[in-house]
Amino acid sequence: ETTAVPTAAVVLSSPPKNFFILSAHKYIPPVMEIVAEMPQTRVQGFLAAGHAAIITGWKIFERFVQRHRIPVVTGGFEPLDILAALVELLQLIRNRDIRVENAFPRCVTPEGNQQAQKLLWEVFQTEGGNWRGIAHVPNGNLRLRPKYAWVDAREWFEIDLPGFWEAAPSRLTQECICGNIMAGIANPQDCCLFGKECTPKNPVGACMVSSEGTCKIWYEYGGHVIIKEEVENESRSGRVL
């Protein structure tokens, strides 16, 4: 949602005739549904990204919370913002308080940026699509509406997007468990490739590619064994870490 808004603004600003867009924009709420509905999920709460919530508003998560009985806290990106949001989320989980909490009130409002939403939905519509490392997500992609086909690269050029997914994966890719890691079902060290064939300099899966990827963060900032042992101990005791 965040980066799709300026893209929409450019489309509406009468760009030059040789300007085209190949949209890779995503829409967050549908993938939250996918994760919450996975039979093996261990997710007890969601820390919602503040930049997306600035656009959508925090009320967009209320139906999700009511449907899945999982609390959601919107948080910012400064270290103290993240810590404050995590503390709030842990308190909600511990107290079994199932609701949406806004821990980023200086930027996030209940209804969000309605002017930005107007731009977004004027230019884009949702459609199903594959998310790297996860699965097919219904309504998870943002595609240009038909009336803006004149800037849609997929309408002007031969781009075999399905072919990217249908190509036979390598042996290492088949062993990658990024989907389970991003869904909270597994930890990075549960992957047989982590720190061996898969490193930040030689990534196999999506989780090790991005600077925000779970595996890359886990790999670069240490404490892997300690964190895993603590998580396992807390899981066995039935307590919330």
Q: Say if residue 62 is in the same domain as residue 17.
A: yes
Q: How many domains does the chain have?
A: 2
Q: Please identify, among 105, 134, 159, the residue that sits at the C-terminal boundary of a domain.
A: 159
Question: What is the distance between the alpha carbons of residues 34 and 52, in angstroms, rounded to a whole number?
Answer: 18
Question: What is the distance between the alpha carbons of residues 78 and 74, in angstroms, rounded to a whole number?
Answer: 13
Q: Say if residue 13 is in the same domain as residue 76.
A: yes
Q: Say if residue 141 is in the same domain as residue 180.
A: no
CB 55 within 8 A of CB 64: no
Q: Say if residue 217 is in the same domain as residue 113.
A: no
For position 200, what pLDDT does the model report?
Answer: 92
| Residue 147 counted as domain residue | yes
Check which CATH number belongs to the domain holding 73 and give it: 3.40.50.11750
Q: Say if residue 21 is in the same domain as residue 138.
A: yes
DSSP state of 191: S
| Residue 166 counted as domain residue | no
Q: Please identify, among 95, 128, 159, the residue that sits at the C-terminal boundary of a domain.
A: 159
Q: Where are the beta strands (DSSP E) in 93-228?
A: 100-102, 124-130, 136-144
CB 69 within 8 A of CB 35: no
- The closest alpha carbon to 228, from 192, 183, 188, belongs to 188
pLDDT of 227 above 60: no
**More confident: 180 or 133:** 180
For position 15, what pLDDT does the model report?
Answer: 95
Q: Say if residue 125 is in the same domain as residue 205.
A: no
Q: Say if residue 208 is in the same domain as residue 229.
A: yes
| Residue 225 counted as domain residue | yes
Q: Say if residue 24 is in the same domain as residue 128.
A: yes
Q: Say if residue 229 is in the same domain as residue 177.
A: yes
For position 71, what pLDDT does the model report?
Answer: 98
Q: Please identify, among 159, 184, 214, the residue that sits at the C-terminal boundary of a domain.
A: 159
Q: Say if residue 45 is in the same domain as residue 136.
A: yes
- The closest alpha carbon to 140, from 241, 216, 30, belongs to 30
Question: What pLDDT, in 10s, does the model give residues 26-45?
Answer: 999 999 999 999 888 889 99
pLDDT of 218 above 50: yes
For position 172, what pLDDT does the model report?
Answer: 77
The string of DSSP letters for 103-129 reads: S-TTT--SS--HHHHHHHHHHEEEEEE
| Residue 84 counted as domain residue | yes
Residue 42: give the domain boundaries: 4-159
Q: How confident is the model at residue 135 (pLDDT cuts 50, 70, 90)?
A: confident
Q: Say if residue 230 is in the same domain as residue 111.
A: no
Q: Say if residue 126 is in the same domain as residue 193.
A: no
